[in-house]
């Protein structure tokens, strides 16, 4: 028997037992753990009477955990869970941010997020629906002791045993009872609206 015929025979035998590589990959849900090379950023804007003298800031999570269950055949059966320790958030010090980054980071932890009382930020999906090029994920975002729904469109791509998703969404801090950071008696402050930028890398679990 030639090699080609042997491969064809093996595939045919597998099909007789109800398995094929293509159908298995697409129909069965796959579980992924969120990998360390993922990135969770919050980008802030400027506000206040002297807002033009302030800086925009990028806040990044140093640590996080989470899982993704993705069903390509039925995306609505997919789910996402992410937990970010608030004590691990830090200000990315670039350019003009270098001078005030330590003060902003300290104020963020102690006066804005109160990490001693609220040690984590959590997201739990409640619905997933397919869209062109990816999925629309709706879920509950819990920060500072409050939980509110958010929706984010995520672009998806598969790379071997990796699932990569990119997306962004914007919220108002005050909707979670968070008072935006301010300085100079409030004449310089962080805008209420902040944007979450997500680059999520999932590694398939055994």
The CATH architecture to which 26-204 belongs is Beta Barrel (2.40)
Strand-strand pairing, 188-204 and 182-183: antiparallel
Cβ-based neighbours of 125, under 8 Å, separated by 6 or more = 78, 79, 80, 81, 137, 138, 139
Q: What is the pLDDT of residue 96?
A: 52
Strand-strand pairing, 79-85 and 182-183: unpaired
Which of 60, 65, 63, 61 minimizes the C-alpha distance to 33?
Answer: 65
Average pLDDT, stretch 34-39? 97
Record the pTM: 0.77
- Tens digits of per-residue pLDDT, 116-173? 999 999 999 999 999 999 999 999 999 999 999 999 999 999 877 999 999 999 999 9
């Amino acid at each position: 028997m030639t090699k080609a015929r042997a491969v064809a025979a093996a595939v045919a035998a597998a099909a007789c037992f109800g398995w094929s590589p293509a159908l298995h990959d697409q129909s069965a849900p796959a579980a992924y753990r969120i990998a360390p090379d993922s990135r969770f950023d919050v980008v802030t804007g400027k506000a206040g009477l002297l807002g033009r003298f302030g800086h925009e800031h990028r806040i990044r999570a140093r640590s996080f955990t989470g899982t993704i269950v993705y069903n390509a055949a039925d995306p609505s059966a997919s789910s996402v869970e992410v937990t970010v320790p608030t004590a691990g958030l830090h200000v990315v010090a670039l350019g003009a941010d270098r001078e005030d980054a330590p003060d902003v980071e300290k104020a963020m932890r102690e006066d804005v997020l109160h990490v001693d009382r609220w040690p984590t930020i959590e997201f739990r999906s409640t619905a997933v629906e397919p869209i062109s090029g990816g999925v629309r994920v709706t879920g509950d975002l819990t920060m500072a002791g409050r939980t509110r729904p958010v929706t984010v469109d995520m672009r998806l791509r598969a790379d071997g045993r990796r699932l990569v998703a990119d997306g962004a969404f914007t919220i108002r801090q005050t909707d979670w009872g968070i008072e935006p950071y301010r300085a100079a008696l409030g004449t310089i402050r962080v805008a209420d609206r902040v944007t979450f930028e997500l680059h999520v890398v999932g590694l398939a679990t055994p």
